[in-house]
Amino acid sequence: QVTLKESGPGILQPSQTLSLTCTFSGFSLSTYGMGVGWIRQPSGKGLEWLANIWWDDDKYYNPSLKNRLTISKDTSNNQAFLKITNVDTADTATYYCARIVNYGTPFDYWGQGVMVTVSS
């Protein structure tokens, strides 16, 4: 059974760095073809893809946010991470992590999401 769960700080101030953790089970990021992606959704708005990391440590970022994003993984502990630097109120959203099986395939299993608020 594949499960993913996101965790984060809940609230942070503008200009700080947002650190998110995705803890998953039912698959391994050391398995050929596996990947984890991060997606966010401001309240009442649509979905925005942020970044993917793959079994071989290959990484892809949304070009519009690339300078602020860093994705990484800890294979032994079944975790993936996302950092967003210099946050502002526009980064207030629910952040999801999701599994990908092979390049090009969709996000098939999603976490429940974690809400992050940026406020002074």
Q: How many CB atoms lie within 10 A of CB 36?
A: 27
SS (H, E, C) 6-55: EECCCEECCCCCEEEEEEEECCCCCCCCEEEEEEEECCCCCCEEEEEEEC
Give the total of residues touching another protein (CB under 8 A): 21
Give the residues across from 26 on adjacent strands.
Answer: none
Please select the residue that binds another protein; options are 24, 54, 55, 96, rule is CB under 8 A: 96
84 vs 114, which CB is nearer to another protein?
A: 114
Site for another protein in 61-80 (CB under 8 A): 62-64
For residue 37, state whether it binds another protein (rule: CB under 8 A).
Answer: yes
| By the rule CB under 8 A, 8 interacts with another protein | no
User: Could you say whether residue 90 binds another protein (CB under 8 A)?
Assistant: no
According to CB under 8 A, which one of 32, 46, 76, 90 is a site residue for another protein?
46
Q: Which stretch binds another protein (CB under 8 A): 7-15, 20-28, 47-55, 71-79?
A: 47-55
Read off the DSSP letter of residue 76. G
Pair 23, 2: CB distance under 8 Å: no
